[in-house]
Structure 1
Amino acid sequence: MTSAPVRVVLADDQPLLRHSLAMIINAEPDLAVVGEAHDGLEATTVASDTTPDVVLMDVRMPRLDGIEATRRICRMPKLAHTRVLVLSMFDLDEYVFHALRAGASGFLLKDSKPTDLLAAIRRTHNGEPLFAPSILTRLVAHYTARGPTAVEPSPPDQLTTREVEMLGLIGQGLSNDEIAHQLTISIKTVKTHVSHLLRKLDARDRTHLVIAAYDAGLVSARPHPSHISGRNRLDER
């Protein structure tokens, strides 16, 4: 029995790009474009009407930009399972970080190879990271540096001591394997803790756990020694 294809909505104000993306995606037996939108406002309507698995979202669009469209989509109860993948021209675009804060699960450069695009859609649908943790933490660190605030950040009260420790390590960009090695626990135990963190923090995926770690003051806003520069990479494990 063949499983249903991953349902995708395309949101971009360039008709030619939407057409090209649709051709690439629809050529795959496990993927299908179920709707298109030429701006953010239409994207929210189309997503609500079609309840897709993944929305490919451009950031800079007329009427309503991709950031606000992402925020609205991620707040719709009926779209709780829908994930947003942002298309960007630059890997350290400030708009990308704001889109991640709005609920996007990841981002991909517009000039990525078709094979990378298809892999990104599948991995986004499966809730897997799109790139090495160092890329994500570098992005978050770049845009979360703050001066002194009136309220000192602190870990959420509902987390156990071990979960706070886990959240901090995730925020540093460590993979599950690295966390298991550092804490001398099994990969299965790490995954269990990650699942608890996702549920307790109402986070869609690991991307938002990294942001939560910075918000809680568990990670300082400076690059981790393992950070690397360059394009997004679909090779995190």
Structure 2
Amino acid sequence: HVWPGLAGSIDVTRGPAMSYSDAWKVTVKGRGGHGSQPESTIDPVVLAAHMIVRIQSLLSREVAAQKSAVITIATIHAGLKENIIPPSAEFTINMRNLDTEVREHLLAGLRRVIKAEAMASNAPEPEIEELYTFPLLVNDEAETDKVIGVLRGVLGEDKVNEKPAVMGSEDFGALPDAIGVPGVYWFFGGMPPEVMESDEPVPSNHSPFFGPVMEPTLSTGTTAAYEVLMSRLRAK
């Protein structure tokens, strides 16, 4: 996968390499009414705000500092007019982590917080729709050693770097288990030296400013894939 590393380089991780990812849509139910009479309503906007703030405390107070986890709430939608309290609100959750036990705890914690905040506001139980789940991507350590050896032999020692796990996610993580073979997933950089050396933040994947240079990005990516594949075929 191309990413914001130096063009011409390869980055690879041993063991857990990319995180689980779980996405939900939450529909908060209230009772709509006029903004001048909030006492006759159950305001789903205020309720959703309480949920969103409380959810972040799951990370700061229920996950050990040595563990990695991220919860992002990037969309919230409610209402059509400034003086009308709507009957419902919606927001989405994206959660990422690298540990199965942490994941299970946070999934349960999310449901607990969402339901408890609704109960505290005397609101109906919210609807939770599970949108998708990406598995933990784990690189086989023995095969990773072989891949690193092949790539350093072809590209040079200084072009192949070992990196810690990242919190991005990939459905590639499901493939090795599905077909019963070990897997190795690596990144190839696409940024020119002047971008990497700039004082400005390097644009990340999915940023509108992320623009890999054609070369040596393309030739490095194709060479890496070809050489690793051929090394496995020759071994057979």
TM-score (norm 1): 0.22
More strand by share: 2
Larger radius of gyration: 2
TM-score under structure 2 length normalisation? 0.22
Which of the pair has the greater relative contact order for Cα pairs under 8 Å at 6+ separation? Answer: 2
